[in-house]
Amino acid sequence: MPGDSAAIDDAMVARLTGDPQLQALIPAGPFFDVAGKGYTGFTLLSVHEHASIGQFGGQAFERTVYQAKAVDLNTSSTNARQAAARIHALLEWEDGPPPLTIAGFDLLALRRVERVRYTEPDAANPDARWQNQGGLYEVITAPVAP
């Protein structure tokens, strides 16, 4: 029986929640898909793409690409850039213990596959800018054998 994919979402949120360095830069979040009203700096997660790959009549592994980014209402990109670097440090996995504990899954890979950086004008104030920086992170998991 396949694992609950929402557990992967939960693990990503847990990884970015409560990190003192990230909270010092961007105090709100992480939010999934849409931030709460009134925040001017927050971290945001969303599922960019997902595939469940079967093998031998069952689920062999899941590949989920998340967008993880810092969003900051600021004319300067410095704060968003520093927060994006912290997000990267929390998520990029090359060696050592896995950065995520996922109920029902083993983590096979977690890596940034694309950088995200863009600026948007604020709808209410044309002189204000929303700085968006982070990345697309590929998470590959396999369900834990029963």
User: How do residues 76-130 score in pLDDT, each as one tens digit?
Assistant: 999 999 999 999 999 999 877 888 999 999 999 999 999 999 999 998 898 899 9
Q: Please tell me the distance from the alpha carbon of residue 22 to that of residue 15, in angstroms, as a whole number.
A: 11
Domains by residue range for the chain, with CATH? 6-143 (3.30.2000.30)
Count CB neighbours of 95 within 10 A: 4
- pLDDT tens for each residue of 118-145: 999 998 898 899 999 999 999 999 988 7
**pLDDT at residue 130 in the model:** 96
Q: Please tell me the distance from the alpha carbon of residue 46 to that of residue 53, in angstroms, as a whole number.
A: 20
Model confidence, pTM: 0.90
Going by their DSSP bridges, the two strands 129-143 and 58-73 should be labelled as antiparallel
Q: Please tell me the distance from the alpha carbon of residue 55 to that of residue 37, in angstroms, as a whole number.
A: 43
